[in-house]
Amino acid sequence: MIDQKKPDTKQRLLDGALAAVREHGVSGTSARTIAAAAGVNQALVFYHFGSVDDLLGAACRQATEQRVAHYADRFAAVTSLRELLQVGRTLHAAELAQGNVSVLAQMLAAAQSNERLAEPIRATFALWTGEIETVLRRVLTGSPIAEVADVPGLAQAISAAFVGLELFEGVDAAGGRRSMEAIDQLAVLVEVMDELGPLATRVLRSKIKKRL
């Protein structure tokens, strides 16, 4: 926040942390593997970040910020749910090629029983949900879906589902792709729903009344 002219050790550690998670997984990541990836001394992890967990949290957050910023214009250009999914798939493919398929996902898993990691991960996750929420709100304007859906909740659900898919793909690549295709097909349904317009809206409303 204060000094922007130090892309040195501190930044190398942040990058090294991500590299370590990519290569060894969260459980295989330590101050030593991070330092090795960063090409710096192991003790500097503690000097600059206090603990491994704090470094991991910071690294995850920074990386996500950059990633979100990098995709901001693409998100802004989205005009339909399928396009949103398309951006998601592109993003996913890029992460995959870059090797950090599931860095956030693994952090999320590690955060389950690590309160020190949980807070930064929550914040990181919120960066994604925020972005998606904005898109959803714009895309769903005038759609019957907007009348039923809790947009923030939906944004969280989408983000969470995406994380699950990343984890699954990490263990079963073919299955992951297939799942993605299946969701894409489902998105067609939602669009059809939108195109039905007034009729769907009417049926929808009555359906909702029954439900409440």
> Where along the sequence are the contacts to a second copy (CB under 8 A)?
23-28, 101-102, 105-106, 108-114, 118, 121-122, 125, 145, 148-150, 152-154, 156-157, 159-165, 167-168, 170-172, 175-176, 178-183, 185-186, 188-193, 195-196, 199-200, 203-204, 207-208, 211
From DNA, a second copy, none, which one binds at residue 93 (CB under 5 to 8 Å depending on kind)?
Answer: none
From DNA, a second copy, none, which one binds at residue 8 (CB under 5 to 8 Å depending on kind)?
Answer: DNA
Of 11 and 127, the one with the shorter C-beta distance to a second copy is 127
Which residue in 98, 21, 101, 18 sits closest to 61, CA to CA? 18
Of 32 and 70, the one with the shorter C-beta distance to DNA is 32
Distances (CA, A) of 166 to 37, 39, 49, 109, 193: 24, 29, 28, 12, 28
> Nearest distance from residue 3's CB to a second copy, in Å?
31
Please compute, for residue 176, the number of CA atoms within 13 A of its CA located in the half-sphere on the CB side: 19
Of 9 and 30, the one with the shorter C-beta distance to a second copy is 30
Instruction: For residues 143 and 123, give the distance between their C-alpha atoms in angstroms, rounded to a whole number.
Output: 30
> Nearest distance from residue 119's CB to DNA, in Å?
16
From DNA, a second copy, none, which one binds at residue 46 (CB under 5 to 8 Å depending on kind)?
Answer: DNA
> Nearest distance from residue 43's CB to DNA, in Å?
4
> Nearest distance from residue 46's CB to DNA, in Å?
4
Instruction: For residues 199 and 49, give the distance between their C-alpha atoms in angstroms, rounded to a whole number.
Output: 57
> Nearest distance from residue 67's CB to a second copy, in Å?
18
Of 20 and 163, the one with the shorter C-beta distance to DNA is 20
Instruction: For residues 54 and 32, give the distance between their C-alpha atoms in angstroms, rounded to a whole number.
Output: 15
> Nearest distance from residue 160's CB to a second copy, in Å?
4
Neighbours of 149 (CB within 10 A): 15
Which residue in 159, 160, 156, 179 sits closest to 169, CA to CA? 179
Instruction: For residues 34 and 52, give the distance between their C-alpha atoms in angstroms, rounded to a whole number.
Output: 9
Consecutive H or E run containing 57: helix 52-76
Residues that bind DNA (CB under 7 A): 6, 8-10, 28, 30-33, 40-44, 46-48, 51-52
